[in-house]
Amino acid sequence: MTAQIINGKEIAEKKRVEIAEEVIRLKNLGVTPGLAVILVGNNHASRTYVRNKEKACHELGMNSILIEMQEEVSEEELLAKIAELNETPDIHGILVQLPLPKHIDEKKVIESISPSKDVDGFHPINIGRMMTGQNAFLPCTPYGIMVLLEETGISIPGKHVVVVGRSNIVGKPVGQLFLNQDATVTYCHSKTKDLPLHTNQADILVAAVGIPNFIKAEHVKDGAVIIDVGINRNEAGKLCGDVAFDEVAKKAGYITPVPKGVGPMTITMLMYNTVKSAAESLNRD
Ligand SMILES: Nc1nc(=O)c2c([nH]1)NC[C@@H]1CN(c3ccc(C(=O)N[C@@H](CCC(=O)O)C(=O)O)cc3)C=[N+]21
């Protein structure tokens, strides 16, 4: 089998057209969706993502502000900035770019963001709501993956989904979203014994490990759907995923590339969540 490539960039653009229409509707009601991004320190990769987020906001007619803080900023100062943004009516979404410097407690920072502005979907309130199937901000990468599958026409109920990786921002929540749609879900991680035994049972395999070329043809069942969440740089400095693309694409049914797979969907769902937050702010006042 030769896999069909899932074009995340194209699907992201299609979704952005729908989001832009909602932005126009909200503007006509007097609300322009606004996102605040806080960037601490000078991480190169973080800058690229932050720039892409700002660009996406402006293309959609939304407002965005970037707040840059020195690497040495105190936790107190960061929390004070978040408290201020929580109370700013024009700001509907607050994103604190992760990772943060070691002297800052990431959990404390995430919990300080108002759940109604937590467009990353990282606040424990939103995670709990997601787990119990309530209205919530869904984390952008997992949500983007679900939209990719939906747009590709891949049905989920009853499928065996194997997630490799158990981070709080991708692995754990994506498994939960699949469970919410009636998949059978297996989580694998660094302590899993006989990884190929599990991954070979996957109808849908999600690779979120952070190691280039970690998933090889031997891990994959014929015709499986392969979702590559990895954003790594190889020795040559080239962007690559967690999946050995060429050999796996020969065996899989569908595969997402890196770049232009899951990444563009992450930013799109961030825009979606910010617009949703702006719409919900109208219903509150
Ligand atoms: N609070 C927080 N929320 C995040 O959502 C968050 C974060 N922190 N920290 C960093 C990660 C990473 N991330 C990406 C978003 C888009 C692309 C993306 O669009 N990638 C393009 C390529 C971009 C390039 O050329 O580098 C692609 O895959 O086609 C990648 C990675 C969001 N993150």
Model confidence at 134, pLDDT cuts 50, 70, 90, reads very high
- Tell me, yes or no, whether 134 lies in a domain: no
246, 151: one domain? yes
230, 170: one domain? yes
If 0-12 CB within 10 Å is exposed, 13-18 middle and 19+ buried, where does residue 44 land? exposed
Q: Which atom of ligand 1 is nearest to the CA of 120?
A: 3
Number of domains composing the chain: 2
Amino acid present at 84: E
Q: Which atom of ligand 1 is nearest to the CA of 260?
A: 29
Q: In this structure, which residue's CA is closest to atom 31 in ligand 1?
A: 263
pLDDT tens digits for 107-117?
A: 999 999 999 99
Model confidence at 45, pLDDT cuts 50, 70, 90, reads confident
Calpha distance 226→228 (Å, rounded) = 6
Domain end residue (candidates: 119, 152, 175): 119
145, 92: one domain? no
166, 69: one domain? no
The residue among 92, 194, 177, 89 whose CA lies nearest residue 140 is 177
For the range 14-17, what are the long-range contacts, defined as Cβ-Cβ under 8 Å and sequence gap of 24 or more?
A: 14/151, 15/147, 15/151, 15/265, 15/268, 15/272, 16/56, 16/59, 16/60, 16/268, 16/271
240, 176: one domain? yes
55: CATH: 3.40.50.10860
Q: What is the token pair recorded at 144? A: 């983007």
- Ligand 1 centroid to Cα of residue 30, in Å, is 30
- Tell me, yes or no, whether 217 lies in a domain: yes
- Tell me, yes or no, whether 279 lies in a domain: no
147, 239: one domain? yes
- Ligand 1 centroid to Cα of residue 87, in Å, is 27
Q: Tell me which residues are annotated as active site.
A: 53, 97, 120
Calpha distance 201→222 (Å, rounded) = 10
- Tell me, yes or no, whether 221 lies in a domain: yes
Whether 140 lines ligand 1, by a CB cut-off of 6 Å, is yes
Is-contact 60 52, C-beta < 8 A? no
* CA atoms in the 13 A half-sphere facing the CB of 158: 2
Q: What is the token pair recorded at 137? A: 């901000």
Sign of the C-alpha dihedral computed for residues 269, 168, 121 and 183 taken in this order: positive
Calpha distance 284→235 (Å, rounded) = 51
Please state, as a whole number, how many other Cβ atoms lie within 10 Å of the Cβ of residue 266.
23
Q: Is 166 annotated as a binding residue?
A: yes
98, 148: one domain? no
pLDDT of residue 266: 97
239: CATH: 3.40.50.720
Model confidence at 47, pLDDT cuts 50, 70, 90, reads confident
Mean pLDDT, residues 250-277: 98
pLDDT of residue 235: 87
pLDDT tens digits for 26-44?
A: 999 999 999 999 999 988 8
- Tell me, yes or no, whether 163 lies in a domain: yes
98, 202: one domain? no
107, 147: one domain? no
Q: Is 16 annotated as a binding residue?
A: no
Q: Is the pLDDT of residue 49 over 90?
A: no
Is-contact 90 103, C-beta < 8 A? no
pLDDT tens digits for 68-90?
A: 999 999 999 999 999 999 999 99
Domain end residue (candidates: 90, 119, 148): 119
Q: In this structure, which residue's CA is closest to atom 1 in ligand 1?
A: 97
Calpha distance 276→270 (Å, rounded) = 10
Q: Is the pLDDT of residue 285 over 70?
A: no
Is-contact 209 238, C-beta < 8 A? no
Domain end residue (candidates: 71, 86, 119): 119
To test the pocket of ligand 1, the residue of 231, 234, 255, 268 to mutate (highest count of ligand atoms within 8 Å of its CB) is 231
The residue among 206, 279, 284 whose CA lies nearest residue 30 is 279
What is the percentage of the chain residues whose pLDDT exceeds 90?
Answer: 94
145, 74: one domain? no
Mean pLDDT, residues 246-275: 98
- Tell me, yes or no, whether 245 lies in a domain: yes
CA distances from 284 to 116, 250, 277 (A): 11, 51, 11
- Tell me, yes or no, whether 11 lies in a domain: no
pLDDT of residue 284: 81
Q: Is 47 annotated as a binding residue?
A: no
Q: Is the pLDDT of residue 61 over 70?
A: yes
254, 166: one domain? yes
- Tell me, yes or no, whether 223 lies in a domain: yes
Q: Which domain holds residue 70?
A: 30-119
Q: Is 125 annotated as a binding residue?
A: no
- Ligand 1 centroid to Cα of residue 232, in Å, is 11
92, 166: one domain? no
pLDDT tens digits for 183-209?
A: 999 999 999 999 999 999 999 999 999
pLDDT tens digits for 240-256?
A: 999 999 999 999 999 99
